[in-house]
């Protein structure tokens, strides 16, 4: 698999110049490059999407995420620290009720869920990484979760890894991709003013090769609702 680029949406407090950021970025780029198909081939070759009647055959996405995490833990030797507490008891900003105009603070009652991978750099930098395996709504949730974690100082680095528009075309699940997120980058960049020290980044990845070989296997596709929907999209 190819690493295409890493977009740093904001860097508060000079995290981008730290040894921890350089170390983790190099490490996860190596993990991206390690993802191959077939396993052991050294490159990620995907079967090109194919239309059969009213349905599309595309590649599943779970394999890519699992291979990434496998390499980060097994080869790069990062220790996965599990879930991050996104401070559910954090104080909400005061807002106005209308028409009373009273100040009000809405309590946090939703569970944000964990991140795909959380670890700590050699110098103590807390890092959260999300690998996109869902649709565009999932991409927005991931970016919002990372931003909240940075603002509440529970991590200092937040990274979302997601497909290029070219890779997206050959994956099912209507998966999120950089093309669909590109119009929202300025919004996440503006959140820097609520972060004392932290870096928010998006890394874009892509396949190495496509094939039309009829004997070449597609990556396995899940059977949930998004996967079924993904098989019908153009």
Top mean-pLDDT range of 35-39, 50-54, 112-116, 217-221: 35-39
Model confidence pLDDT, tens digit, residues 99-150: 999 999 888 777 777 899 999 999 999 999 999 999 999 999 999 999 999 9
More confident residue, 15 or 231: 15
CATH of domain 2-82+113-230: 3.40.91.20
In the prediction, which pLDDT does 226 show? 44
Model confidence pLDDT, tens digit, residues 55-75: 889 999 999 999 999 999 999
Res 82 pLDDT > 80: no
More confident residue, 89 or 165: 165
Band (pLDDT 50/70/90 cuts) for residue 84 is confident
Q: Integer distance in angstroms from the first to the last C-alpha of the chain?
A: 24
Instruction: Give the integer Cα–Cα distance in Å for 65 and 122.
Output: 24
Res 11 pLDDT > 70: yes
Instruction: Give the integer Cα–Cα distance in Å for 56 and 58.
Output: 6
Band (pLDDT 50/70/90 cuts) for residue 91 is low
Question: DSSP characters for 111-168?
Answer: -----SEEEE-TTS-EEEEEE--SBHHHHHHHHHHHHHHHHTTS-SEEEEEEE-HHHH
Instruction: Give the integer Cα–Cα distance in Å for 227 and 229.
Output: 5
Q: What values do phi and psi take at 103, rounded to 5?
A: -70, 145
In the prediction, which pLDDT does 227 show? 45
In the prediction, which pLDDT does 231 show? 44
Question: DSSP characters for 160-198?
Answer: EEEE-HHHHTTBSTTB--HHHHGGGHHHHHGGGGG-SSE
Band (pLDDT 50/70/90 cuts) for residue 83 is confident
Instruction: Give the integer Cα–Cα distance in Å for 104 and 95.
Output: 5
Band (pLDDT 50/70/90 cuts) for residue 90 is low
199, 15 contact by CB (below 8 A): yes
Band (pLDDT 50/70/90 cuts) for residue 7 is very high
Q: Where are the domains of the chain?
A: 2-82+113-230
Model confidence pLDDT, tens digit, residues 179-234: 999 999 999 999 999 999 999 999 999 999 999 999 999 999 865 444 444 444 44
Enumerate the active-site residues. Answer: 132
Instruction: Give the integer Cα–Cα distance in Å for 135 and 156.
Output: 26
Element (H, E) at 109: none
Other C-beta atoms lying within 10 Å of the C-beta of residue 166: 14
Report the percentage of the chain scoring pLDDT > 70.
Answer: 91
């Amino acid at each position: 698999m190819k690493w295409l680029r890493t977009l740093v949406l904001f860097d508060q407090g000079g995290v981008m110049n730290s040894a921890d950021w350089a170390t983790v970025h190099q490490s996860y780029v190596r993990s991206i490059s390690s993802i191959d198909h077939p396993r052991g081939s050294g490159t990620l070759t995907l079967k090109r999407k194919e239309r059969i009647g009213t349905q599309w055959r595309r590649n599943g996405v779970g394999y890519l995420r699992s291979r990434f995490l496998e390499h980060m833990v097994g080869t790069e030797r990062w220790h996965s620290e599990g879930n991050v507490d996104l401070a559910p008891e954090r104080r909400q900003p005061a807002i106005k009720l209308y028409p009373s105009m009273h100040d009000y603070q809405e309590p946090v009652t939703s569970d944000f869920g964990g991140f795909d991978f959380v670890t700590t750099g050699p110098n103590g930098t807390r890092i959260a990484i999300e690998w996109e395996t869902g649709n565009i709504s999932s991409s927005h949730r991931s970016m919002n979760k990372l931003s909240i974690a940075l603002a509440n100082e529970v991590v200092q680095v937040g990274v979302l890894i997601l497909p290029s528009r070219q890779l997206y075309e050959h994956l099912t699940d209507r998966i999120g991709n950089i093309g669909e997120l590109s119009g929202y980058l300025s919004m996440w960049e503006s959140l820097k003013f609520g972060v004392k020290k932290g870096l928010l980044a998006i890394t874009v990845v892509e396949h190495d090769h496509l094939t039309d070989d009829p004997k070449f296997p597609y990556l396995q596709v899940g059977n949930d609702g998004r996967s079924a929907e993904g098989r019908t999209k153009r």
